[in-house]
Structure 1
Amino acid sequence: MVAPARRVALLGGGFSTDDDGLLDDWLLGHARSPHPKVCFLPTASGDASDYIDQFLSAFTARDCEPSVLSLFRRESSDADLRARLLGQDVVYVGGGNTANMLAVWRVHGVDRLLREAYDRGTLLSGISAGANCWMEGSHTDSFGPLTYLRDGLGLLPGSVCPHYDSEPGRRASYQDAVATGMLAAGWAVEDGVGALFCDGRLHEAVTRNPAARLYRVHAEADHGAGERALPCRLLDGAA
């Protein structure tokens, strides 16, 4: 039996930021089922009710079966939690505080379940903190000022920086963290970009914004950092 591809999608947008729905449609197009089960994990936002309502409004209108896993108001047993997560086709992790989210996941064993789901072919995805969590490290504002976080599930090697083009200080701060070795080389995701990784390698990069890019950021011999823009396919329907 051939093992399923292990896949992660890093999102620079989606239902919470964009009106056109192009990145969410692209994500669902990579699900293993034509009518996928999609579970939203809003842990990083503290299970914010408005965020949950946004997700349900956006995904109920699509050809999928959406659900929400709340850990701050958890009602399921360990066995039910495992069955729930492993039964999904897509897991969609929302934005918020990356460090807090990882801590809560570990208390409930969600980190181990997501690794198991990954190995079984569930498409793991997310925006902001929901992109950070899959890497070995990330650029974050979890502690207030922008800084590095040498923590994550480590399903993908290296580091990531979300909001690379839209938040003041992100670009320079992330490059400094990579240049000084505080973070390993990694991926910088501009808003509007989606990046799909299969078995740890970049498989596809897309964008809903013709000007947005995915960058590979690496340390250079002079103790600085370099960035290399990767080609992104413009999604059908993009302005």
Structure 2
Amino acid sequence: MKKRIIAIGGGENGRQGYPYETAEIDQEIVRLCEKENPKLLFIGTASNDDSNYFHSMSKVFKKLGCIVNNLSLTINNYTEDDIYKIITQSDIVYVGGGNPKRLLELWNEKKIVKILDDASENGLILSGLSAGSLCWFSYCNSDSLKFNNENIESIKQDGLGFIDAVNCPHYDNKDNRKNELKAMMKHLPDKVAIALDNCSAIEIIGDKYRIITSKTTANAYRTYWLNNVYYEEIIPKTLEYSNLTDLIVHPKNRK
């Protein structure tokens, strides 16, 4: 079965006291499943399994008809068999935001990457926001170090490689993210980055993709270096799907 991934750049997604900004994207995640009451598994590793985060997301997706479960890797001492059963009995995985370094280290330690990979080939939908968006790509523009020192720049971090490109969330945030991505991509001359504003997402089904948003001003961008020139191109928002290869293959590597 074709891999289905929805990677969200950011946005408020149900926290008490904040506007709910990602409704249309969340609705698309559920619609993509094509089940009346899909089983959604929230994974909050990047936020240290913050209980308030889970409760907020649980409310959001229960309203969309989902049966919501929680995989609390930093709290519960699951066996590999436990993790396998919990993941493979789900229809959708939604990975929350937070510290992507913590997320990827613990996922590798708990050996859940192959489980997610195999399960997604059998129909499991992979989705997530911020750190939960970064993880699916080969590389990411990560703010992991800023959790200890906000003055430290974002770093290049290896992801899972399910999508062979770089990912940068929160691209419209005023925290120097654009300049940091530009500098990082200088060291990845053969790669393309998918930069996502808050309230924008890339939806991937097999070898096809489209950009979806929950705010009209939100955009997604394709960025790369070519002949010492840095390109930043808005990716069109259309209802139709386009070829993923055309998006993520660097221009100089095209045949």
Q: TM-score, normalised by structure 2?
A: 0.84
1:185 and 2:202 are equivalent in the alignment: no
Q: 2:230 aligns with which of 203, 221, 225?
A: 225
Question: Is the 1:137–1:158 Cα contact (8 Å) retained in structure 2?
Answer: yes
Alignment of 1:143-154 (within 5 A): 143-144=145-146, 145-154=152-161
Alignment of 1:173-212 (within 5 A): 173-181=180-188, 184-199=191-206, 201-212=207-218
Q: Cα RMSD (Å) of the superposition?
A: 1.9
Q: 2:3 aligns with which of 6, 12, 15?
A: 6
TM-fit CA distance, 1:140? 1.1
Spell out, residue by residue over 1:125-152, the C-alpha distance to the aligned partner (whole angstroms, 9 max, x if none). Answer: 1111000000111001101223232311
What does residue 120 of structure 1 align with? 122
Spell out, residue by residue over 1:140-184, the C-alpha distance to the aligned partner (whole angstroms, 9 max, x if none). Answer: 110122323231111000100000012420111102211332783
Distance 1:112 1:32 in 2: 24
Q: After the TM superposition, which of the residue ranges 177-186 and 127-136 deviates more from structure 2?
A: 177-186
Question: Is the 2:87–2:119 Cα contact (8 Å) retained in structure 1?
Answer: yes
Distance 1:217 1:142 in 2: 22
Instruction: Give the AA of the match of 1:19.
Output: Y
Alignment length (residue pairs):
229
Spell out, residue by residue over 1:200-235, the C-alpha distance to the aligned partner (whole angstroms, 9 max, x if none). Answer: x4522111211111111111212x42111012259x
What does residue 64 of structure 2 align with? 62
SS of 1:158's equivalent in the other structure is strand
Q: TM-score, normalised by structure 1?
A: 0.89
What does residue 19 of structure 1 align with? 20
Question: Is the 2:154–2:177 Cα contact (8 Å) retained in structure 1?
Answer: no
Question: Is the 1:43–1:94 Cα contact (8 Å) retained in structure 2?
Answer: yes
Gaps of 5+ in 2: 147-151, 240-255
Instruction: Give the AA of the match of 2:83.
Output: L
Instruction: Give the AA of the match of 1:88.
Output: S
Distance 1:122 1:138 in 2: 23
Instruction: Give the AA of the match of 1:195.
Output: I
TM-fit CA distance, 1:61? 1.9
Question: Is the 1:14–1:22 Cα contact (8 Å) retained in structure 2?
Answer: no
1:46 and 2:48 are equivalent in the alignment: yes
Distance 2:139 2:14 in 1: 24
Question: Is the 1:32–1:89 Cα contact (8 Å) retained in structure 2?
Answer: no
1:166 and 2:164 are equivalent in the alignment: no
Instruction: Give the AA of the match of 2:236.
Output: P
Gaps of 5+ in 1: 235-239
Question: Is the 1:178–1:219 Cα contact (8 Å) retained in structure 2?
Answer: yes
Q: 2:137 aligns with which of 135, 159, 169?
A: 135
Question: Is the 1:138–1:160 Cα contact (8 Å) retained in structure 2?
Answer: yes
Spell out, residue by residue over 1:11-70, the C-alpha distance to the aligned partner (whole angstroms, 9 max, x if none). Answer: 133624652522211211111423211000000000011111111121222211111100
Distance 2:124 2:226 in 1: 36
Distance 2:191 2:102 in 1: 22
Question: Is the 1:158–1:183 Cα contact (8 Å) retained in structure 2?
Answer: no
SS of 1:217's equivalent in the other structure is strand
